[in-house]
Chain A
Amino acid sequence: MIVTRLAAATRGRSPVVRIGLLVVGLVVAFGLPWTIYPPVALDITAWALFAVALDLLLGYTGLLSFGHAAFWGASAYATGIIAIRTGLPFYVAVLGGAVVAAVIALPVAMLSVRRTGIYFAMVTLAFAQLIYFVANQWRSLTGGENGLQGIPREAFGWDLTDSFYFYYAALPLLLLGFLGAWRVVHSPFGRVMVAIRENPARARALGYPVDRFKVQVFVISAFLAGVAGGVYAVGHGFASLQEVYWTTSGKVVVMNILGGMGTLWGPVLGAGIIVVLEDYLATAGIDAVGTITGAIFVITVLVFRRGIWGTARHLLARARRRGRPSADDADDAADAEPLTQEPSPTPAPQA
């Protein structure tokens, strides 16, 4: 079964579709600040990269990290500290922040991969909370509850006070992050990730050091989350405890499941929807973000597990098969529901 799934995954879409999607994506990325308020545009793009970073783990490797705020937030703080104390261009600060995130991620990953499935989620969540407490306590460095204020938007003396221009200054960095994620997924390494998701025991039997791969994906994912978090912090001019809090981890997970995990485009879409929705709620003065985010979680998980992108792809694939009656069922495996790898601890009771 794994072979057919891999084959199906390798087959991919036609180059026309793929390039078409890429062009649409780039047009949206470049046109965003013209159509909506530029700070919101930056939020969307930064969150989109954060969501894609998590997708590497959640969608492609089948590991639910519920503590990714730790890396987004750690980088937000580290980026801010570098930018404030050295005055280097924000590109350097963001990369420095992302490296800090990756360095923190390494021990977290090495400990977390010792458990799988639901435990992995709980353990990553707990480690993220540890980072949160550190950020809260280490006031001299992080500003504690006040957060880190006054992060400069410095880059070679350019005038970036206007968020419109800052968006374009930051965009290349974020696009490089997307490109990195895309390369990881469409590489032999990415195939192994999917193999681990589909059947970790078999991947191990084939000679892949599964845990080492998981750690590597985790660190890459944390690095990309760090790039996103750093840009976000520079864009806002501050880093707060909110960035390392578990609600932030939850938010990036909901972006993934709403958009469709394991699709790269889905999380981008999910990020766009959630950020725009939150912006709308804030502007409209509706103070119920928790209820609405929670409802999205509940509804998506109950009726919509493939997410928007995954559902669209599934429907397309089905429509295509209808015109091709000889198609075998194996095709379906490619767009099977995500998260089916870990056998449930108590073999599912008949409900």
Chain B
Amino acid sequence: MELVQQLFNGLVSGSFYALLALGLSVIFGMLGVVNFAHGAFYMLGAFGAFVLLDTVGLSWWLALLIVPVVLGVVGMVLERLLVARLLRLDPLYNFLLTFGLALILQDVVRLRYGVASQPYPRPALLDGSMSLGLFDYPKYQVFVLVFSIVVSVVVWLVLARTRVGMIVRAATERPELTRSLGIDVRRWITPVFGFGIALAGLAGVLAAPMRAVNSSMGADLIIVIFAVVVIGGLGSVFGSVAAGYLVGMLSAVGSLYVPALSQSLVFILMALVLLLRPAGLFGREEGVHA
């Protein structure tokens, strides 16, 4: 029973991993850029919700709508102004650029709000708990899990079934060929980057009522996300999401049996994956896509 509940806890924290890894993967697929600032945008998402509530009293539901859109636009501007300049060069330059951005964003928020966590109440509709048959569980956590699965499925459907998704996938796999077919790949780079950032912001808004809202909330998380995408196979949308939930459950179960190791388990799993399947659990061999 405790195990089942712990697995469920793992799925809930895995929801955040999955959403963040999804955004990271989509951006990587389209631009070949690993966005180090992804954790910082997650943090900004949570702060966005906090500021909207604190200053204008906007509800969490509205924040869930507004914040990702705003951050998505910020991401698009950022891509145009900075990231695009380095796209022709080794992807490590954009990794370093976004690392610098992450430091700045985190520090600016810290200077403004300090290091203490900001309070954020649960939305009234999702307060309290509900019965899941075997045990009672907070409604909010259930919502987070369901919502993240819905978002992941929708993103997957968009990529797999729509014309836009087809173009994005084609541009990811064979950019020159796609271009030579008369498709303007460039047009999609900025929106895709913005979309990835919006997903990070969305995860941040989701986190606000259940995690500590502070300037460093995305700092350690981004490294776990890196391990997640290495495990799942960066650029593999399905792999990132699946690895996200998997890592969440692994850490949760780990904290039950080997509490001292619970934070390290994700990295140990990453080491195992590198040893046995370097391209990631769901990734394709290097050379084709990495």
Contacts and interface: CB of A to CB of B under 8 A. Distances in A.
B71 interface: no
A247 B223 CA distance: 12
B186 A350 contact: yes
Interface residues of A, number: 53
Interface in B63-110: 82, 84-93, 95-97, 99-108, 110
Given A291-B103, A302-B86, A118 B95 contact: yes
Contact of B91 (A117, A293, A350): A117
A111 to B, nearest CB: 5
A337 B89 CA distance: 10
Interface string B1-38: 00000000000000000000000000011111010000
A348 B227 CA distance: 25
A121 B92 CA distance: 8
A125 B221 CA distance: 12
A345 B86 contact: no
Interface string A294-326: 111110011001000000000000000000000
Contacts of B229: 122
Given A121-B95, A294-B103, A349 B274 contact: no
Contacts of B97: 297-298, 301-302
Contacts of A133: 263-264, 267
A301 B175 contact: no
A126 B30 CA distance: 24
B95 A123 contact: no
A143 to B, nearest CB: 16
B103 to A, nearest CB: 3
> Which DSSP category, helix, strand, loop or mixed, fits chain A's interface?
helix
Given A119-B230, A295-B104, A296-B100, A348 B93 contact: no
B268 to A, nearest CB: 7
Nearest to A350: B186
B275 interface: yes
B191 to A, nearest CB: 13
A130 B82 contact: no
A345 B289 contact: yes
B90 A119 contact: no
B167 to A, nearest CB: 13
Nearest to B235: A345
A115 B107 contact: no
B226 interface: yes
Nearest to B268: A130
A347 B175 contact: yes
B101 A351 contact: no
Of B102, B227, B260, chain A has the most CB atoms within 10 Å of the CB of B227
Given A126-B227, A298-B101, A351-B84, A344 B274 contact: no
B290 to A, nearest CB: 6
Interface of B: 28-32, 34, 82, 84-93, 95-97, 99-108, 110-111, 171-172, 175-176, 185-186, 189, 219-220, 223-224, 226-227, 229-230, 234-235, 260-261, 263-264, 267-268, 270-271, 274-275, 278, 286, 289-290
Interface of A: 64, 111-112, 114-119, 121-123, 125-127, 129-130, 133-134, 137, 246-247, 250, 253-254, 257, 287-291, 293-298, 301-302, 305, 337, 339-342, 344-351
The 10 nearest A-B residue pairs measured at CB? A297-B100, A290-B107, A294-B103, A294-B104, A130-B267, A346-B32, A298-B100, A122-B226, A351-B87, A351-B84
